């Protein structure tokens, strides 16, 4: 039986990845800063908590990472932990950098130090590309990070690349574009929109307050994206891959689709507030996953409107 360690198992991607790996016959371990006190609600929601071994690990503490990996002795490590909100990163830049970049460095160093044949996946981000302007970014596109979160993810990306080249580690980064699911926390705008539209349709509120709805994003479906993560670690040679749908839609399109699912006209309910604007924003991003299609036999089946429909259905 293969054994996988998922750092950040309690989040959206970590939970779906655990479900995927369990279905493939893996022994699955997952980390949390304090596993004894964590309720792991997402694992409970999918009914898999009793099938996962949870352990405590502070990824920004080298000794803690070493102890966790020594306890588990995994064949594969998936690093999905760290501060995950772009907006919050402007308020907590130091914590964001430490939880993403320093934590990634610690895991890489432990793998190098132990010298075991571990395969390592690092969660990258399309935010590293910054404002793409037009077209679609691929693995050769230049990074122009525009937030502390993106800077931290770019740092982690190059650390993985460096350790792969310098020490021969099987380490890769998945540069994932936006991907959603019912497990998204309420602080994310997509969940805020879906929940707001439903509340309005049920008479629980009268309006939904948003920031800039002209921005365009490439939205996919989280359960499909975690499959791409697994595929990256099954290849003969480690490499980095863009994971995306190849379709960009505006946040206004997302809002319209959510309200349309509930037979409502969004323009009657949505209010814009300049206080919700970020210090710097990406106006357009879109990904080209041709390499993943060719080398991993992976492509996104669900696009933005499919994602909205499923999120609405699950919330209802």
- CATH code of 110's domain: 3.40.50.720
User: Domain range for residue 77?
Assistant: 3-181+220-246+285-301
Helix, strand, coil percent content, the chain, rounded in steps of 5: 45, 15, 40
The length of the chain in residues reads 316
Q: Which residue has the tokens 């503490």?
A: 61
3, with CB counted inside 10 A (0-12, 13-18, 19+), is: middle
Can you give the pLDDT at residue 279? 72
Question: Tokens for 121?
Answer: 């996946």
Whether 177 is covered by a domain: the verdict is yes
Whether 53 is covered by a domain: the verdict is yes
The whole-angstrom separation of Cα 176 and Cα 128 is 10
Q: Which residues of the chain have pLDDT under 70?
A: 278
Can you give the pLDDT at residue 84? 82
Return contacts of 127-130, CB within 8 angstroms, 24+ apart. Answer: 127/86, 127/153, 127/282, 127/285, 128/153, 128/154, 128/157, 128/175, 129/285, 130/282
Whether 202 is covered by a domain: the verdict is no
153's CB contacts (< 8 A; 6+ apart) are 100, 124, 125, 127, 128, 145
Whether 313 is covered by a domain: the verdict is no
Query: Bridge partners of 180?
Result: 221
Return contacts of 268-274, CB within 8 angstroms, 24+ apart. Answer: 269/197, 269/200, 269/206, 269/207, 269/208, 270/207, 270/208, 270/209, 270/210, 270/213, 271/207, 271/208, 271/209, 271/210, 272/209, 272/210, 272/211, 272/212, 272/213, 273/209, 273/210, 273/211, 274/211
Q: What's the total number of domains in the chain?
A: 1
Whether 186 is covered by a domain: the verdict is no
Can you give the pLDDT at residue 6? 98
The residues that are catalytic are 125, 127, 149
Reduce the DSSP state of residue 175 to 3 states and report it.
strand
- End-to-end, the C-alpha distance of the chain in Å comes to 38
Whether 206 is covered by a domain: the verdict is no
Can you give the pLDDT at residue 36? 84
Whether 30 is covered by a domain: the verdict is yes
- Sign of the CA dihedral 52, 34, 185, 232? negative
């Amino acid at each position: 039986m293969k054994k996988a360690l998922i750092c950040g198992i309690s989040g959206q991607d970590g939970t779906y990845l655990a479900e995927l790996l369990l279905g493939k016959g893996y022994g699955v371990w997952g980390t949390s800063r304090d596993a004894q006190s964590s309720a792991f609600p997402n694992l409970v929601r999918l009914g898999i908590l009793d099938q996962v071994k949870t352990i405590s690990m502070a990824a920004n503490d080298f000794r803690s990472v070493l102890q966790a990996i020594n306890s588990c002795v995994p064949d594969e490590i998936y690093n999905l932990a760290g501060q995950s909100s772009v907006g919050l990163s402007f308020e907590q830049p130091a914590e964001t950098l430490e939880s993403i970049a320093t934590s990634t460095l610690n895991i890489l160093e432990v793998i190098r130090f132990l010298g075991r044949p571990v395969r390592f996946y690092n969660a990258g981000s399309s935010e590293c590309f910054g404002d793409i302007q037009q077209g679609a970014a691929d693995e050769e596109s230049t990074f122009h990070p525009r937030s502390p979160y993106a800077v931290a993810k770019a740092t982690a990306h190059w650390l993985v690349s460096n350790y792969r080249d310098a020490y021969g580690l099987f380490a890769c980064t998945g540069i994932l574009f936006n991907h959603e699911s019912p497990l998204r926390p309420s602080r994310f705008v997509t969940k805020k929109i879906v929940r707001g539209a439903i509340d309005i349709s049920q008479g629980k509120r009268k309006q939904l307050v948003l920031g800039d709805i002209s921005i365009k994003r490439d939205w996919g479906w989280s359960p499909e994206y975690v499959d791409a993560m697994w595929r990256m670690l099954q290849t003969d040679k480690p490499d980095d891959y863009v994971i995306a749908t190849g379709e960009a839609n505006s946040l206004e399109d997302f809002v319209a689709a959510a309200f349309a699912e509930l037979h409502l006209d969004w323009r009657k309910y949505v209010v814009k507030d300049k206080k919700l604007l970020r210090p710097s924003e990406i106006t357009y991003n879109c990904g080209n996953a041709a390499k993943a299609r060719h080398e991993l036999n992976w492509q996104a089946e669900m696009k933005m409107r499919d994602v909205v429909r499923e999120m609405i259905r699950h919330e209802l």
